[in-house]
Structure 1
């Protein structure tokens, strides 16, 4: 989750909210790729979680020391909450480091032109992070969920918005706190050229998001044992505040556009209003009331563009619209998978023939088909079926379209290789019919003798 937006421009009407989203439309020459990935930190000595202030009265460094070390190494601007550094921001390139509620360490990558660049950014980040983390005795898991610690054992980061969410989540779902504190994802943010282009990409990516969930499934353990799912991270989202999650069936209805998404967002209850450095708890309140200056918790206070941008960041559908589109269906994983995520979606989105082919692949699915697939994929993965087809076959077709799109994009690295190279881990998964979660479970039941402890050595960056 990137840093909160600060823009005090007043919002006068619903039209201003629509215009804010519409301003995200960009010419193809300006389309970029932004990759975000979360990593679960742990102490290498005993596979225990890493608190913000560390352990033993701070003698063993924690998340704060990690952030301070990264700031010293990178020279990035600290993001402060009170006297707590809670992130870093690259004022030159646009990237950021932020903390998820349980200490998951996130890189929100800069908007870059190619998958080659975003993959280089990833490798540089991991090398820098290891340089700071090793002296602190900290490692990072390459899984979609912390496999061992209970929710009570998981640290809590000192961020005001998370305190508000932590109080609200249990009122609206059974797994919201698990989502906050125990999961890790990889996302890619991609651009659109117009309202019609946004709608097409949104529909394709919503329909295919369960395909990505299956391909990237990598969270089969909870509390030290198998949880019955291939992507427990994805299953958790099915019981996390239904007002702001899910497959957005309205996106496939006639008349879909920026206005319709604004109406959806206005109907999602707010979490907070930020004024200065203070987060005001307005959980459950309506943005419509803030827009009209009638918010009971803050009488007379009027909405600003930063309020709107921050509210949009608290919506969690499978694909999220801001001034770009965020793909939200994938578990975090090893470096090859973190590079595969932007490659898969950029191949489909940034080539017109591939996007047309992807729409042909899914346009016959009904809302019931899409929802059924979303519901079964966390457990069944590539063994799922949709509209009479194996999801493994659908994934194979989607990957072929993406590969062709990347080949036509023809973005080459210094060695003359195009971006199709980054699809190879996904193509191997489809060819073998085995996800990372399937492999983890096989190791747990055989080589690991019923223990998740080896994951901290074998599946760490």
Structure 2
């Protein structure tokens, strides 16, 4: 989840001029093809190697100590004070990259915008090496999975961030699983550029329709509190009962006339969480940004928003694909190092090559609304085995991977060993070839070599 935006505090005008500013904020992210970048984000669960429990924020073995330890590698600390308490280190920055904390201390790398998958994969590897160098002497490890496999929600710590305090109080009012989303999920995401409104619309539609395929390929959250939970991507299921006002497949994206203005209207209808002013979060949960535009926000009466407020608000919608100044793919469980690279490779291959994008659109263009929702609702439990049009999601996954691989091969960007970027799809191709997901592999181990315990996952699959 994002922290306060770095956008300047430019006042938003009234009436049509103000709405145009909101639209222009989204439009301003457009880049010519030559400048398209790749921004990869991934989250991971910390655990104490002595007892596998998640580390608290405080203490010599706490998450804040990890952040402070990472400063030896050139990361600059970011501090925040909550409720008048002394400021604490809650994030790091280095260039255009950042390290931040999810609500229960899941450590997130938000990578810098980079030109190639080789660079973004190197960035992820470097980050994990730095984290391990700091964490191991503290007796800490980190694990990439979609859902915390062992500990109950009430056993998870909470990080001292003002944004999360507001969300923690609001979530139970709008869904039954929102607190689980905050404390017990981890994901890997990729942020990709668009060149124009038409390019944005096409990429948005393709990525929304294929997001369940990414969920299936990366499904890796089959355990809850030490036992199988009946799902392969329980993380994905969590989002179906988090907050219907700000999640889901955004059916309107497929309607005629969709563009930046329609997405702006959607964001205006997403209830607010907060206003960030003078280093503090003002609780505006459930209130209307439209009222804020008119100076009638109950939480902040008589004040009108700035573009910084709008930028913050765009980060509080959580659909399967999110538009900010770029498109953000949000449908994958976190996993090991090679699957961090694989997610970016999957979407870059599909969306950054014209022939691949056309082929992907041909694959999904006649999906009906009912079919898109059947995929979204069925994949978390069944993944590859979910039936679809006389075949299965495995067939769709195989075809999507073929398109992505060809797209990456046509990019023809080679590493030092002469391999193009399609090399990063190999882990996904192996899952499709075997016809089983990462979650099913772990379930086989749970029922076999692990003798009904999830504890080995913390050693066998840790970074």
TM range (shorter): over 0.9
Partner of 2:244: 242
Shift of 1:419: 0.2
In 2, are the aligned partners of 1:164 and 1:272 still within 8 Å (CA)? yes
Q: Does 1:256 align with 2:255?
A: no
**Aligned-partner SS, 2:153:** coil
CA distance in 1, matches of 2:234, 2:435: 19
CA distance in 2, matches of 1:270, 1:373: 29
**Aligned-partner SS, 1:217:** coil
Unmatched 5+ residue regions in structure 1? none
Partner of 2:5: 5
Partner of 2:70: 70
In 2, are the aligned partners of 1:365 and 1:387 still within 8 Å (CA)? no
Choose which of 177, 180, 196 in structure 1 pairs with 2:179.
177
Partner of 1:186: 188
Shift of 1:145: 1.2
Partner of 1:458: 460
Unmatched 5+ residue regions in structure 2? 82-86
Choose which of 351, 373, 376 in structure 2 pairs with 1:374.
376
In 2, are the aligned partners of 1:216 and 1:436 still within 8 Å (CA)? yes
TM-score w.r.t. structure 1 length?
A: 0.97
**Aligned-partner SS, 1:250:** helix
Partner of 1:52: 57
**Aligned-partner SS, 1:78:** strand
CA distance in 2, matches of 1:63, 1:449: 31
CA distance in 2, matches of 1:306, 1:137: 40
TM-score w.r.t. structure 2 length?
A: 0.97
**Aligned-partner SS, 1:49:** coil
Shift of 1:77: 2.1
**Aligned-partner SS, 2:404:** helix
CA distance in 2, matches of 1:458, 1:143: 12
Choose which of 396, 401, 421 in structure 2 pairs with 1:419.
421
> What is the count of residue pairs matched by the alignment?
453
CA distance in 1, matches of 2:279, 2:460: 41
Superposed CA deviations along residues 175-198 of structure 1, whole A, max 9, x for unmatched, are 000000000000000000000000
Shift of 1:388: 3.6
Q: Does 1:40 align with 2:45?
A: yes
Partner of 1:86: 90
Matches within 5 A, 1:172-321: 172-321=174-323
Choose which of 147, 150, 157 in structure 2 pairs with 1:155.
157
Q: 1:388 to 1:287 in 2, by over 3 A?
A: farther
CA distance in 2, matches of 1:428, 1:363: 27
CA distance in 2, matches of 1:252, 1:387: 20
Superposed CA deviations along residues 308-363 of structure 1, whole A, max 9, x for unmatched, are 11111010000000000000000000111111000000001110000000000001
**Aligned-partner SS, 1:67:** helix
In 2, are the aligned partners of 1:2 and 1:96 still within 8 Å (CA)? no
Superposed CA deviations along residues 13-44 of structure 1, whole A, max 9, x for unmatched, are 11100000011111001100000000100001
Cα RMSD of the aligned pairs, angstroms, is 0.8
Shift of 1:305: 1.0
In 2, are the aligned partners of 1:218 and 1:436 still within 8 Å (CA)? yes
CA distance in 2, matches of 1:253, 1:62: 48
**Aligned-partner SS, 2:419:** coil
Shift of 1:276: 1.4
Superposed CA deviations along residues 80-110 of structure 1, whole A, max 9, x for unmatched, are 11211100011x3x00000000100000000
CA distance in 2, matches of 1:16, 1:28: 24
